[in-house]
Amino acid sequence: MARYNPKETEPRWRKAWDEADSFKAVASGDKPKYFVLEMFPYPSGRIHIGHVRNYAMGDVIARYKKAQGFNVLHPMGWDAFGMPAENAAMQSGGHPRDWTYGNIEIMREQLKQMGLAIDWSREFATCDPEYYVHEQRMFLEFWKKGFIERKESMVNWDPVDQTVLANEQVIDGKGWRSGAPVERRRLSQWFFRITDRADDLLAALEDGRLAGWPDNVKTMQKNWIGKSKGLKMRFHADAGAPRGFEAIEIYTTRPDTLFGASFVGVSPDHPLAAEFAKDDPKLQAFINECQAAGTSEEAIEKADKRGYRLAMTVKHPFVEGKTLPVYVANFILMQYGTGAIFACPAHDQRDLDFARKYDLDVIPVVCPPDADPASFDVTDEAYVGPGTIFNSGFLNGLPVDEALPKAIAKIEEMGDGQGTTNYRLRDWGISRQRYWGCPIPVIHCEKCGVVPVPEQDLPVKLPDEADFSKPGNPLDRNPVFVNTTCPECGADARRETDTFDTFVDSSWYFARFAAPTPDAPTDPEEANYWLPVDQYIGGIEHAILHLLYARYYTRNMMECGHVNVAEPFENLFTQGMVVHETYLDADETKKLKDRWLFPEQVEKKDGKVISIETGEEVIVGSIEKMSKSKKNVVSPEEIAETYGADAARWFMLSDSPPERDVEWSEAGVEGAWRLINRIWDLCEPNAGIFNRAGADIPAGTDPELRRLTHVTVDGVTDDIEHFRFNKAIARLYEFINGLKKAAPNASEAAVSEGLSALTRLIAPFIPHLAEECWAHLGGEGLACDAPWPKAEKALLVSETITMPVQVNGKRRTEITVPADADKEAVEKLAIEDEAVQRHLDGMQIVKLIVVPGRIINIVVKP
RNA sequence: GCGGACGUGGUGGAAUUGGUAUACACAACAGACUUAAAAUCUGUCGCUCUUCGAGCAUGCGGGUUCAAGUCCCGCCGUCCGCACCA
């Protein structure tokens, strides 16, 4: 028997698909459309097995839907702008563009070798000027429509490298490259006004428009948007207020606890803090320390609660004569609300921690339902639940939800504030002080201000020079790029040197895939044919940012007439990540970013992990998603080289449920390879069987084999529909085992039916082998064009069923009953069973439960 | 710190959503074939015991139910996100 040789068959079938243009998508015909999209990759160098998992899943859906008779669009491209290209340029001196396009060449070849059913004619990279010109166009359109504004925000600044740092580049408050303590700097930047659409983005999560999205993603986005009802109010100064700060405006969601207030706090970034710091070096030092934590919310909130008391007090709004101290506190975010709070330590854990540390009052004002106000007290744990207000003047006796509006009304009546809706969501800052991104198409003129680049001058192309040997952004020191004239007055002017956040690039690529055209972002007619994406697939790590930005950006595009959908992704599937241990060189004198080791650079020996190069023990770090920066990546190449693309695809989809993270292990890959051969061995002796066996199979022929065939078709179909690829594969194993056992003694017709179903069922998973088998068995045309098999309902049912029998909830035996047996008959059979009788001896039957088709439980007592 | 998830044999996992816990696969072990190896095939495989039967097992501790991996309460551990990684 000839052994299956993927090295020979796989390239041959890929060529056949290419020549037949099998996966070319055309926006016409009477078939229903189906747009399948996996989140496009960043061209980091080579694909890793996380990519294989992601794209194999999308490919199963694309091929399955094609077989189901849909007109399928399944494109591929590159999220090609971003920092890794600049980092590579700094390290090796090359150009980000060469590095990026070089990587794309390699990764395209690797992806093609996976045998993906992709329409490669639509491929593009976001760094192609033909793509980003439209992004610049849309920016100007959005600006005109008021979707964009310029304002100040904070960035991490590395004083040595003279550059802005991403949060991930700030490690323990220091720059990852320079090691210098990071400063917070205020910069004028461009923002998309996503908060203007917060309400609709939230509403769509709740009103069924995103019914095809998983609940956990919707919940995460909902919490991220963080709509809250609360009160904006002013605390009036009592003493010590600097000029212009006679009142402090705070935001609170708990105005019902105002009587429990013990201090007012402001963020270290608050203007009041800056004002006091002018002549208080100690305060300035404190603010600097707080700012050294960087800009990330995580760092700010995780830090120990610390504060600095200002020489200022404010009046309590309700209690005559009562004053409150004012603190600068490190846990208050300038970005949220007004950057200032009032604190009620008894009913907020952060406030309580702070109050205990600085010995401030803790006044309980909400009494839990089952507690007594006279004795209720708060020690280490703030009470945040519902209850009745006490210690609170005019609010006394009210439940929390009634006290809230009453407190707001009172403050409004006093003219000191207003009830408001607030969002946690912030406007989307899109300016990046980096070279390798899409240039923001504006010009700064001393006279005319900020002026858009005229349409006919687009695209603003990135200049070729990119010298990363000096600190800072190469665009800033490129006179040819920077120096220009004002399009309005003709005077000398400066070109904007910031580039777009790469999330802008990925916020509309799906629309470009659907309808590329040279003169506009989309051809609206074609875009409207394909959109929305019917099935979007990507990592759970994108649950919030990318998916929210894309939803927002699509709304902008809709208002400009580029698309006619607000929600770009009809159905979403978030797959788990492939995670792997990280390895860190123990040499702490090296910079952190240079210490990571690839898995193939280490080996395990006597329970230790050592570096192959140095022989030294390495630090085994946490298990994390595969990423190039931490080098914990595993390439699929070796597997594909040894066993073929089909085996690699099959292996990545078997075993683990798609939505769950998997810790990478190669154990089991040989099982995938054995399966490929087992299927081939099953088909090999049956050359041309489809031509010999008739289409009609007489009733009663090989009922068990036929039932297995149809049950498998039914089950695998259902599994694919629900993204249960691991279960589909387990079912296919059972089918293959059963087919193999039955084939020698079964009729050619039943065997042919089984093999025909098998070939088509495996085609989405292992398409090359499916083609080889299909051709060998006498199939017409290509397997990728063959229709999906249909299960005959009549063949699914079995005549008898097996039911377990429990006595007092413990399984004692099982009985086989006719499928149509009624309840009494089942009860009788169960009680009469010998094994059951042993447990009924000397007992009295109290209750008898029969769940039809499931289980029998006999409850007894002595 | 906040938000979202996950936790079942030596390993990856299954369990029709409250109804036979461990399907399917990997690894291991034993056997067949072979001069030998590979490949292939057959069988065993959660733990404990008095093993033909029974008891105990789904991260830990409680609870609801005739029945709990599944539901509820409280812990522990791991992963993802936290706005300039993509």
Distance A655 CA to B22 C1' (A): 14
Distance A219 CA to B3 C1' (A): 9
Distance A721 CA to B72 C1' (A): 32
A470 is in an annotated binding site: no
Considering only CA atoms, name the residue closest to the C1' of nucleotide B5: A216
Distance A853 CA to B81 C1' (A): 44
Of A577, A559, A558, A438, which Cα lies nearest the Cα of A503? A438
Residue ranges of chain A with pLDDT lower than 50?
A: 1
Distance A370 CA to B63 C1' (A): 21
Identify nearest nucleotide to residue A856 by CA to C1′ distance: B19
pLDDT of residue A166: 92
Q: Which residue reads 């700097």 in tokens?
A: A185
Q: Which nucleotides of B are covered by protein (CB under 7 A)?
A: 1-6, 10-16, 19-21, 23-27, 39-42, 54-55, 66-68, 78-86
pTM of the model: 0.94
Question: What is the rounded distance in angstroms from the CA atom of residue A79 to the CA atom of residue A84?
Answer: 12
Question: Residue A634: which H helix or E strand, with range?
Answer: none
Question: What is the rounded distance in angstroms from the CA atom of residue A780 to the CA atom of residue A690?
Answer: 9
pLDDT of residue A2: 57
Question: What is the rounded distance in angstroms from the CA atom of residue A773 to the CA atom of residue A776?
Answer: 5
Identify nearest nucleotide to residue A651 by CA to C1′ distance: B25
Of A189, A162, A194, A195, which Cα lies nearest the Cα of A177? A162
Identify nearest nucleotide to residue A431 by CA to C1′ distance: B84
Distance A825 CA to B51 C1' (A): 35
Identify nearest nucleotide to residue A43 by CA to C1′ distance: B86
Considering only CA atoms, name the residue closest to the C1' of nucleotide B15: A727
Q: One-letter amino acid identity for A461? A: K
pLDDT of residue A63: 98
Identify nearest nucleotide to residue A722 by CA to C1′ distance: B16
Distance A189 CA to B84 C1' (A): 12
pLDDT of residue A607: 60
Question: What is the rounded distance in angstroms from the CA atom of residue A765 to the CA atom of residue A652?
Answer: 10
Considering only CA atoms, name the residue closest to the C1' of nucleotide B14: A727
pLDDT of residue A171: 85
pLDDT of residue A732: 96
Question: What is the rounded distance in angstroms from the CA atom of residue A428 to the CA atom of residue A855?
Answer: 56
Task: Report CA-CA distances (Å) from A342 to A235, A266, A367, A843.
Answer: 9, 9, 20, 69
Q: Which residue reads 């003219």 in tokens?
A: A415
Identify nearest nucleotide to residue A163 by CA to C1′ distance: B84
Where are the extended beta strands (E) located within A585-693?
A: 596-597, 602-605, 608-611, 619-625, 662-663
Distance A288 CA to B5 C1' (A): 37
CB within 8 Å of A38: residues ≥ 6 apart: A54, A55, A57, A58, A536, A537, A538
